[in-house]
A and B are shown apart, each in its own frame.
Chain A
Amino acid sequence: MRKQETKNVITELETYLESFSEFEKRAAGRNLPWLRSLREDAFARFCQVGFPTTHDEDWRFTNVSAIARTPFRLARNGFARVSQKELGPWRVAGVACQLVFVNGRFSRELSSMGNLPVGMKVNGLGKEIAGNPTEIEPHLGRYVDTQRDAFCALNTAFTEDGAYVHIRKGAVVEGPIYLLFISSAENSPSMSHPRNLIVAEEDSQAIIVEDYVSLDPGPAFCNTVTELVAGDRAVVAHYMIEREHREAFNISTLRIEQGRSASVTSHSVLLGGGLVRNNVHPVLMGEGGECLINGLFVGNGRQHLDNYMLVEHASPRCDSRQFYNGILDGNAHGVFHGRIIVHKDAQKTDAKQTNRNLLLSDEAQIDTKPQLEIYADDVKCTHGATIGQIEEDALFYLRSRGIDEVSARKLLLFAFATECLDRMKQGLVRKHIEGLINHSLFQVANTRAEARANSRKDEGRSWEEMG
C-alpha cells in the first residue's frame, strides 16, 4: 500500500523534474548564481515535501490530489495566439497602466503602459532580471516561506516572469496599476507560475490590482506568488480578483512585509475557478503598522474556495483587521482558515478577525477555523465566526413591502456582499469589482429561484394528485 503511494509520488514529481531541468536550461537569469541557487534550493525543497495532503493541518479541508495527479507541463509562450480583440472584454478604462500576462509571461505588445507617473516603474520581472538584477536580488525570494509551503517552493523553483512594480520614495500613484493574468488553454494540461514583486518605498502610495481570467476552458494550473514590500509609512492597496474558468486550479500566495507605520490593505474577491486556494500572509515588522484583510468568496456548482490567512504581529503597537464573507450555493465548498500569531514582543497588539458565511443549499459546505496564537500579554485579540442562511424575517419584511421573492433574495445577498465592498476605497476599482460581484450574485439568485420554482411545481403536482 505504502509502496504504491511512494511510487505515485515519484511519478508525480518526475514530470516536474523533467520540466525543471528543461526550464533551467533556458530560463532568464540562468547565469546569475544567486538566482540559480534560489531556484535549485526551492526545487529540492519541493521534492522533499511534495504536495500537501489533508493530513497536513494547513490543508485539512482542501484536497489537492487533483493537482498532484494531473501531469501539468509548463505553458509554452502562447501569447502570439492572443489577439487584442480577444482581450477587449478584459480591458479596464481609466487605469494608470494595464500589464497583460499570458500564461504567466509578460506581453509587452498586449499591455498598455499609458503615461506612467514619475517615480514609478513597472515591467515584466523576466526583463528586469535580465537587465537590472541588482535591484531584484535584495527582495526576490527573501520573504516567502519555501521551507514549509510546497506551492511557494514550486513557484520559486520556476520563477522567471511576472510583474515587477517599483514605487520610489515619496511617490504617489493615483490610478490603479492593473495586472491581468490570462490563462489560455493548450492541448495538454498546462501550468504557469507567475511571480510578482512589488516594492513600495518609504512614504509612497499605490493601488495594485491582480486579475486572474481564463480565455477558454481546459485544465490549467496557475500558481502565483506575490511579494509585496511596503516601506515605512507606505500606503498600499492590493486587490486580487479570481474569475477563471471552473476547470482551473488557482493557488495564490500574497506575502506582505510591512515597515514602520505602513498601511496595507488586501482585498480578495473569489468568484471563479474550480479549486482555489488564496493565501494572504502579512508580517507586521515595524512598529505601528496597520493591516486590513478583506475578502468575499462566492461559490456555486462544484467550486472549492479556500482562504488561508496568516497574520503575524512581530512588532508592538500594530493593528490588524480581517473580514471575510462567504456565500455558498450548489455543491460548493468554502474554507476559511484565519490565524493570528502575536509574537513575544508585540505588545499593545490589536487584532480582530471576523468570518461570516451564508449557506444557500444543503449540499454546500463550509469549514471555518479561526485561530489565535498569542505569546505576548498586553494584547487585544478577538475573533468571531457565524454561519447561517438568509433571514426568513428579513425576507418576509421585504415580501410584505410588495417585493417579489427573487428580488428580495437578491437584495439581501447584495447587502451581505456590500459589507465587503464598503471596506474598499471609493473609486474605479471598487466600481469594477461591484459590477463583477453583482453579476455573479445574479447568477446565484437566479439558479436558486429556478430550483425553488421547480420544487414548487413538484409540490403542486402532488397536491393535485392527492386531490
Chain B
Amino acid sequence: MNSNLNTIRDLADREYKWGFVTDIEEERVPKGLNEETIRLISAKKKEPEFMLQWRLKAYHHWASLEKAEAEPKWANIKYGPINYQEITYYSAPKRKPSLQNLEELDPEILRTYEKLGIPLEEQKLFAGVAVDAVFDSVSVATTFKDKLAELGVVFCSFSEAVQKHPELVQKYLGSVVPYTDNFFASLNAAVFTDGSFVYVPKGVRCPLELSTYFRINAAETGQFERTLIVADEGSYVSYLEGCTAPIRDQNQLHAAVVELVALDNAQIKYSTVQNWYPGDKEGKGGIYNFVTKRGKCLGVNSKISWTQVETGSAITWKYPSCILQGDNSVGEFYSVALTNNYQQADTGTKMIHIGKNTRSTVVSKGLSAGHGQNTYRGLVKILKGATGARNYTQCDSLLIGDRCGAHTFPYIEVRNSTARMEHEASTSKIGEDQLFYLRQRGLKPEDAVSMIVNGFCKRVFRELPMEFAVEAQKLLSVSLEGSVG
C-alpha cells in the first residue's frame, strides 16, 4: 500500500509516461485499402493461398458492410467518422531481423524495449515470463522459446505460425470469430499483419505466464493484430497481454481480434492490462480501441477466464465473451474499466450458455472520473439445451466527480427453466464517511481515494497474475490523477 501511495505522489501531474517515438526506418505499403493492399500484405508475408483467399473474402464482406454504412453505431460512445482510406495498413521495421542473438538487433529497438521495461538483454532476470514483443506489426524477437519448445508448446508470432503450422491455423482461424462477425472483425480479418499464436498440446501445463507487449509505433498506422490461442485436451495456459502507445495527435484505430479455443478439460486464462494513449486533458487524440475478443469452451469441463484492466484509449469498445459449448464448461470475466478526462468506454461481456451445467461469473467494476463516460454492456444468454446453467453477475460503478457518467446495459435472455441466474448492479460515489474515516487517520485526500478505489477493484485484481496486479494498481493511480480533490 505504502509503495502505492508513493507512486501517486511520484507521478503527480506527470504526462503520459510511455509516450515516446522510436526513430527507425520503416517499410510500409501506400495508404488506403483495396484488393491490391490485401494481396500485397499477403505476398509480403509469404502466406499460403488459403490465407489470401480468406483475407479476400473478409475484405469483400467488409467492403459490402462499409457500402451499406453498417459500421456499428449502437454503442454508447461518440467519435468522428473514420476514413479507412487514410490508414496505412502495413508497416514493418525495414531491416527485418532473422537474428541469432540480441546483439544483431537494431539498437534503437533495444532502447525502446528498455524504456518499456522489457529486459530482452537480461533474459535470465525474466523470472518466469516469456515475452513475444510485437513491434508495430512484425515480431522481432521471441524469448524462452527453447524451454517452451521442449514441452511442445508453440508460442510464436502469427506470421511464423502461418509458415510453420499452417494446418493448425487453417483449422482454428476464424472458428470463434468468423470474418463475418462484425464490421471491425471483418476489417481485421482482411488486413491483420501479425499477432501471437499459442498452441498447448494435450495434457501440458504451460509452466510460464506467456506475455506479449504490443506497441503502436509508426504514426497513422492502425495496428490490426490477431491472436489465436488453442489449448488442447487437458492443458492449461495463462496468457498476459499488456499495451502502451506513444503520444499522438491524431486518433489511431486499433481493431484487434482474439480467439481462444479450449478443448476437453482445458483451461485458458487471458489477462489484459490496456493502457493505450487516452488523449490529452481536452480529449484530443488518443486511440480508438475496437476489439473483438471471444473464447470458445469447445470441450467438456473446459474453462476460459478473462481478466482485464482497461485504463487507456480514448474510446474502448470491447466485449470479451465466452461461448460455453461443452458440458460443464466455465466462463469467467473480471474487469476494471476506468475513464478519466474525456475517455469513453463501452465494455462488458457475453456469456452464451449452450452446454449442460455450464457456469459463468461476471464481475465488472467501472470507474468514471472527469468527463469520462463508462458503460457496462453485457449479455447472458441461456439457450434451451443448457440445462442446469448458472450465472452470477455483479457490476458496480464508482463515480468520481460530477461531470462523468456511468451506465449499465445488461441483457439477460433465458430459454431454459432450470437456469439460475443472478444479476446485481450498483452505482455510487465514494462514501463521505469512508473518506472521513481515512482522513482522520491522517491520510491525504488523494491517498484515501486511491485506497478506496483499490479496495473497490480488489476482487478483480486478485484474479490477475502477480506481476500484473502490481502494475495494474499503479496504472489505476496514475490514470486517476488530477481527478481527485
Residue of A nearest to B415 (CB): A365
Q: Are B429 and A388 in contact (CB under 8 A)?
A: no
Give the residues in chain A near B405, CB-CB below 8 Å: 373-375
Q: Are A386 and B421 in contact (CB under 8 A)?
A: yes
Residue of B nearest to A382 (CB): B426
CB interface residues, B 413-430, toward A, < 8 Å:
413-429
Residue of B nearest to A372 (CB): B408
Q: Are B425 and A380 in contact (CB under 8 A)?
A: no
Question: How far is B422's CA from A357's CA once the two chains are assembled, in angstroms?
Answer: 10
Q: Contact string, A286-330, partner B, CB cutoff 8 A, digits 1/0?
A: 000000000000000000000000000000000000000000000
Question: How far is B76's CA from A372's CA once the two chains are assembled, in angstroms?
Answer: 12
Q: Are B427 and A369 in contact (CB under 8 A)?
A: no
Q: Are A372 and B425 in contact (CB under 8 A)?
A: yes
Give the residues in chain A near B412, CB-CB below 8 Å: 366-369, 385, 387
Question: Is A236's CB within 8 Å of the partner chain B?
Answer: no
Interface-centre pick from B409, B415, B419, B427 (highest chain A CB count, 10 A): B427
Q: Are A379 and B417 in contact (CB under 8 A)?
A: no
Give the residues in chain B near A357, CB-CB below 8 Å: 414
Question: Is A371's CB within 8 Å of the partner chain B?
Answer: yes
Question: How far is B220's CA from A156's CA once the two chains are assembled, in angstroms?
Answer: 53
**A369 and B414 in contact, given A376-B402, A382-B425 (Cβ under 8 angstroms):** no
Q: Contact string, A352-375, partner B, CB cutoff 8 A, digits 1/0?
A: 000001011110111111111111
Q: Are B417 and A370 in contact (CB under 8 A)?
A: no
The minimal Cβ–Cβ distance linking A305 to chain B, given in whole angstroms, is 15
Question: How far is B416's CA from A146's CA once the two chains are assembled, in angstroms?
Answer: 37
The 10 closest A-B pairs by CB, nearest first: A359-B417, A385-B423, A382-B426, A381-B427, A377-B399, A377-B402, A372-B408, A368-B412, A373-B407, A387-B421
Question: How far is B425's CA from A17's CA once the two chains are assembled, in angstroms?
Answer: 45
Question: Is B285's CB within 8 Å of the partner chain A?
Answer: no
Q: Are A383 and B429 in contact (CB under 8 A)?
A: no
Give the residues in chain A near B416, CB-CB below 8 Å: 359, 362
Residue of B nearest to A391 (CB): B420
CB interface residues, A 380-399, toward B, < 8 Å:
380-389
Give the residues in chain B near A377, CB-CB below 8 Å: 399-404, 429
Residue of B nearest to A61 (CB): B413
Q: Which of B400, B407, B414 has a CB less than 8 Å from the CB of A387?
A: B414
Give the residues in chain A near B211, CB-CB below 8 Å: none
Give the residues in chain A near B411, CB-CB below 8 Å: 367, 369
Q: Are B399 and A359 in contact (CB under 8 A)?
A: no
Q: Are A388 and B402 in contact (CB under 8 A)?
A: no
**A367 and B413 in contact, given A374-B406, A378-B402, A382-B426 (Cβ under 8 angstroms):** yes
**A369 and B400 in contact, given A381-B427, A382-B424 (Cβ under 8 angstroms):** no
Interface of A is mostly: strand
Give the residues in chain B near A387, CB-CB below 8 Å: 412, 414, 419-421
A-B contacts at CB below 8 angstroms, number: 109
Question: Is A5's CB within 8 Å of the partner chain B?
Answer: no
Q: Are B407 and A384 in contact (CB under 8 A)?
A: no
Residue of B nearest to A336 (CB): B412
Question: How far is B372's CA from A374's CA once the two chains are assembled, in angstroms?
Answer: 12
Question: Is A458's CB within 8 Å of the partner chain B?
Answer: no
The minimal Cβ–Cβ distance linking B83 to chain A, given in whole angstroms, is 27
Give the residues in chain B near A376, CB-CB below 8 Å: 402
Question: How far is B419's CA from A364's CA once the two chains are assembled, in angstroms?
Answer: 12
CB interface residues, B 387-404, toward A, < 8 Å:
397, 399-404
Beyond A371-B407, A374-B427, 20 additional contacts (C-beta under 8 Å) are: A347-B402, A360-B417, A362-B416, A367-B411, A367-B413, A367-B414, A369-B412, A372-B427, A377-B404, A378-B402, A379-B427, A380-B426, A380-B427, A381-B426, A383-B424, A383-B426, A385-B410, A385-B421, A386-B422, A388-B419
Q: Are B421 and A388 in contact (CB under 8 A)?
A: yes
Give the residues in chain B near A18, CB-CB below 8 Å: none
Question: Is A464's CB within 8 Å of the partner chain B?
Answer: no
Question: Is B439's CB within 8 Å of the partner chain A?
Answer: no
Give the residues in chain B near A383, CB-CB below 8 Å: 408, 423-426
Question: Is B205's CB within 8 Å of the partner chain A?
Answer: no
Give the residues in chain B near A381, CB-CB below 8 Å: 426-428
Question: Is B74's CB within 8 Å of the partner chain A?
Answer: yes
Residue of A nearest to B402 (CB): A377
Question: How far is B430's CA from A94's CA once the two chains are assembled, in angstroms?
Answer: 51
Question: Is A422's CB within 8 Å of the partner chain B?
Answer: no
Question: How far is B417's CA from A377's CA once the two chains are assembled, in angstroms?
Answer: 39
Q: Which of B400, B404, B407, B420 has a CB less than 8 Å from the CB of A372?
A: B407
Give the residues in chain B near A359, CB-CB below 8 Å: 414, 416-417, 419
